[in-house]
Structure 1
Amino acid sequence: MWDELENALAWYAAAPNRWLQNARQDLSAAAEWIWVVLQGDFAEEQTTAQLATGMVISMVPFVDQLCDVRDVVANCKNISEDSDNKLHWFALAITLVGLIPVLGSLAKGCLKIVFNGARKAVTSGAVKALDGAVWAATRPFIEAGIVKLNQHLANPAVRRTLAILKIDNVFKYLAGKTRVLKDATSASALVKAFDTIIDVLKQLAELMDRWGTAALQTRVGQLLTKVQAVRDKAHTKLTEVVKPLQDMLERIARRLEVEADMTYRASTNALNPHAFKRPQLEAEIAALKAETPPWVKVRRTAPKRAKRTCPPIPEGYPDISKASQSPVLVNKFDTFHTLEPAEIPPGTVLYRVIDPNSADNSICWMRKEEFDQLRSKDDWRDRFAVWANWNSNGEFVTYTVPPGKPLKVWEGETASQVLKDRDGNLIKADDKGNHFWTAGGGKQIVLDPGDLDKSHLGSRQPTEWGYDSFGEGLDLVGVPTLTNNWYEKK
């Protein structure tokens, strides 16, 4: 029991000081700790790293059950405040459906990430009613969950499990499991899962009664009474939400099949669910609508407005005008807020931040002093106006200007970038006329890749900011990291 409690401790909360100071002999401190864990909210703001860690730790049965009990208790607290609110019961149903015993540990851990997104859509108020608009309101949260699921699947422990189980296309596998779960979903099955959780809660309550103070015993008793009151109404109330829950599960299964298809096409001639890939534009839009990260600005206008006209192009400098003959340089003047032609002296080291799929010899670079000022991936995205579907980061490469003549480039402040869909339409951040912006302001360099000499390119190095899309900080195993990728023009 103590070892299992300590595993849970590493994930959920700090141990009470008395517990640590008394060599694990203060049972009342342990009782208090269990109580604090059960009183927690859903922990909706967990990062992907925390979610992944939680899924690995949940291989310990006690810890997995404690996680489930915690979520059910949080649902019951909401229902107790308004037991006639169908959305509260729908949120409970989403929590319970993953506990119906038709999923193995792998599928349960993976689908819990997606289901957490669905539940957050309900508990955050995005879902207004159980009508035909449920999926439209839930989908941005599901898309954010898919992004986090991709990160979770890169975890080394999960990777090894997939290999042992010989699961090549994990998204197809999860889609199938979701449909099995849908077919098994009924009010009776949800109530049975609820009863299983109540049994675990009663065991925990017994420990808290045995170890805790009289005051804690009273509070535990009140909690059990509250949960039992919800249980008494559960069959009738859950019957009312089974159909929308089944509909949501079918939608999720279909979305996982789409991800399976995109994963297949992401790798040449092979199914490879673990190949590195940037988030799709649609996934990034959904993730931003579900939760806006600090590097994204929600506003009407650009913090750093882009240049509207291209300056004259001096002889020998890259043509960044609308009339440029180079496809990679056309209109690149509008990536600047301010700009001027500049000559980079021989021996100067330039830096380029990239992900494993990026070409080494592309147009965007920066000086060493700019690179050294960057403290995080958020800082880089903010200052150099880079959307996640453009570049996931993770690595950088250097280029040393060779002896001889200077390198002619354009240099200046990076302009803000607004998020657009594939048709070029601005994505609405809200109903107040705001859009999603990256601020810009970092001093960038735009050059002609044809002016670079491959022999003066440095080896790729890690940024130490991870390969993830939204700042969760996971390391990917099996990704072709730190491998130079020089694009040879054909």
Structure 2
Amino acid sequence: MEMNDLYKAVRAFNSQIQSAKEAANWFWGVLQGDFNEDQTPSQVIANVGISIAVSTTGVGVIAAWILDLRDFIACVYHIYEDGSKEGSFDFKKVSPILWIGLVIMVIGVIPFLGDVLKGVLRIIYLQFIKLIKTTSKTATRILFRKAIENSMPYIDELLAHEQVKKFLKAKGWVRPYKELARELKLNYKKITSPDQLLTVYDLMLQRADKIFTKSEALLPKNAKTQYQALKTRLKLVRDGFEISLKNNTQQLNELIEELIIALEKHDNALYKAVSGKMSTHYYGKALKGTKAWEEAKKLPFLKKEIKFKALEPNKNFMKNVIEEKIKKGYPEIDEGIVRTFHTINNGIIKGPAKLYRVIDPSSNPSGMFWVTEDVFKQLKNRNDWRDKLAVKVDWSANGQYVTLDIPAGKELKVWRGPAATQPFDESSDLKLFYQGGTEQIVFKPNETTFKVSNRKETNWEYVDNEKQLLTDRVIINLDGSEPRK
């Protein structure tokens, strides 16, 4: 690597750089973690375009290194600061969610993953970190699922980038979400291996060393001392990362599965089974004045009023009501779950009794949301289910259900109450709502005590996975033609 390569690579990201010295100091800022804080998904999209556009050797390689190192260093800084609040760094005091954030980041810089998939992972990482900053008690899996959901519009934007579209065309990727999911599946064992992730972490350190060595002569006199201090921090975090990986392997696998499922769902929601016809399926965001906007008003399970306002729990409620009951053996729930209720009460269900859970083919059958047998028998079809329990189409596609039997003499502690009204689209002024108001039950099945049944069909017009995922979407072909039935 020559200094001229670094200069050209930095220029790709910042056209105001006019000299090798400025390039060296710009990169020095990256190593000090002060370049990443205000990064947006749109910047990630632009940078992926740059990464694809530049050559695969020389400048292109260095540009890719900078892109990786920038996010990596900032992520490590967050972890070091979190573990050093009481003095010296203690990896045990780092939030477990931050370790998962580092995993997502490291996966996103694995060399054999393509630029587009790296971009997708970076966007999800930014959304995940943003959510971490707003909550401290929500379960990691729920946060990750929400981060994926929030990332989808930006991933759509990424795949529509001019350079990315050229890249996808060259690879023959007509359905990029499907191909991204396939890449993850192919590399599944590699990217979830603790050895692989630690190898990539070490690779980041080596790359930082290589660029620093080349640019040291152009940096301030105390740069070497500061860099040695940085390396000490990076190695301390690395040691904690190694232990964290051993404790979180299963959770990591589950998160990757969540992402694969989300990509496949989005693929099915974007492309009908009609050759060459690309469709957009509006199941959340419908732009005002569009055909999708008008069609959304006709969906039978949407109403114009909020009849069952969601609970807005404050700290006192969570501490004095929820946490006190949790100490007495009631299920652990967070503020996000509390807000799905209009009112919430703790209760004990005594056997014999049967509970029901409606799921789609990708759902976890042992999830937390259930209904009693009486409520399940009231649900005549999919629209009824969405209306009475306020189940948004981007939460679950239905098609199947499972049951849980509580034997005579046994009892189950649960949270129960009417489901809160949910907005069709929180990001726009389309004032339509899933009404809710029917009792839902929340608990986490313990299969050592209660056995969850095999999947059964709801027979709510369910045919197969792809059709099921598309049902209830408002389908608009991008070419303006009518969707085929």
Q: TM-score when scaled to structure 1? A: 0.53
Q: In 2 relative to 1, CA 239–437 (structure 1 residues): closer, same or farther, beyond 3 Å? A: closer
Which of the numbers 163, 169, 177 marks the counterpart of 2:175?
A: 169
Is 1:390 paired with 2:390? Answer: no
Cα deviation, residue 263, structure 1: 1.6
CA RMSD of aligned residues (A): 3.8
Which of the numbers 255, 258, 263 marks the counterpart of 1:256?
A: 263
Whole-Å Cα distance in 2 between the matches of residues 4 and 158 of structure 1?
24
Q: Which residue of 1 aligns with 2:29?
A: 36
Aligned amino acid, residue 5 of structure 1: Y
Q: Report if aligned partners of 1:179, 1:249 keep a CA contact under 8 Å in 2.
A: no
Q: Report if aligned partners of 1:32, 1:212 keep a CA contact under 8 Å in 2.
A: yes
Is 1:195 paired with 2:202? Answer: yes
Q: In 2 relative to 1, CA 58–128 (structure 1 residues): closer, same or farther, beyond 3 Å? A: farther
SS at match of 2:165: helix
Aligned amino acid, residue 175 of structure 1: A
Whole-Å Cα distance in 2 between the matches of residues 2 and 421 of structure 1?
63
Deviation per CA, 1:407-440: give whole Å up to 9, x if none: xxxxxxxxxxx9x995437596965799858679
Q: Which residue of 1 aligns with 2:249?
A: 242
Aligned amino acid, residue 40 of structure 2: Q
Whole-Å Cα distance in 1 between the matches of residues 62 and 168 of structure 2?
23
Q: Which residue of 2 aligns with 1:109?
A: 119
Whole-Å Cα distance in 1 between the matches of residues 244 and 156 of structure 2?
34
Q: Which residue of 1 aligns with 2:161?
A: 155
Q: Report if aligned partners of 1:95, 1:119 keep a CA contact under 8 Å in 2.
A: no
Whole-Å Cα distance in 2 between the matches of residues 262 and 65 of structure 1?
34
Whole-Å Cα distance in 1 between the matches of residues 125 and 48 of structure 2?
13
Q: Report if aligned partners of 1:179, 1:253 keep a CA contact under 8 Å in 2.
A: yes
Deviation per CA, 1:79-111: give whole Å up to 9, x if none: 222122222221111111223344233333334
Whole-Å Cα distance in 2 between the matches of residues 134 and 421 of structure 1?
34
Which of the numbers 83, 96, 99 marks the counterpart of 1:89?
A: 99
Whole-Å Cα distance in 1 between the matches of residues 300 and 145 of structure 2?
16
Deviation per CA, 1:49-83: give whole Å up to 9, x if none: x2321111123221221121122211221222212
Which of the numbers 276, 280, 297 marks the counterpart of 1:277?
A: 280
Whole-Å Cα distance in 2 between the matches of residues 278 and 264 of structure 1?
8
Which of the numbers 40, 50, 59 marks the counterpart of 1:46?
A: 40
Aligned amino acid, residue 167 of structure 2: T
Cα deviation, residue 259, structure 1: 1.0
Corresponding pairs, count? 303
Q: Which residue of 1 aligns with 2:318?
A: none
Q: Which residue of 2 aligns with 1:228?
A: 235
Whole-Å Cα distance in 1 between the matches of residues 211 and 261 of structure 2?
38
SS at match of 1:203: helix
Aligned amino acid, residue 93 of structure 1: V
Larger mean CA deviation between 202-211 and 68-77 belongs to: 202-211
Whole-Å Cα distance in 1 between the matches of residues 6 and 310 of structure 2?
47
Aligned amino acid, residue 156 of structure 1: E
Whole-Å Cα distance in 1 between the matches of residues 313 and 279 of structure 2?
35
Q: Report if aligned partners of 2:108, 2:119 keep a CA contact under 8 Å in 1.
A: no
Whole-Å Cα distance in 1 between the matches of residues 188 and 300 of structure 2?
33
Q: TM-score when scaled to structure 2? A: 0.54
Unaligned 5+ residue runs, structure 1? 286-294, 296-352, 359-388, 392-417, 441-477
Q: Report if aligned partners of 2:216, 2:223 keep a CA contact under 8 Å in 1.
A: yes
Q: Percent identity?
A: 20
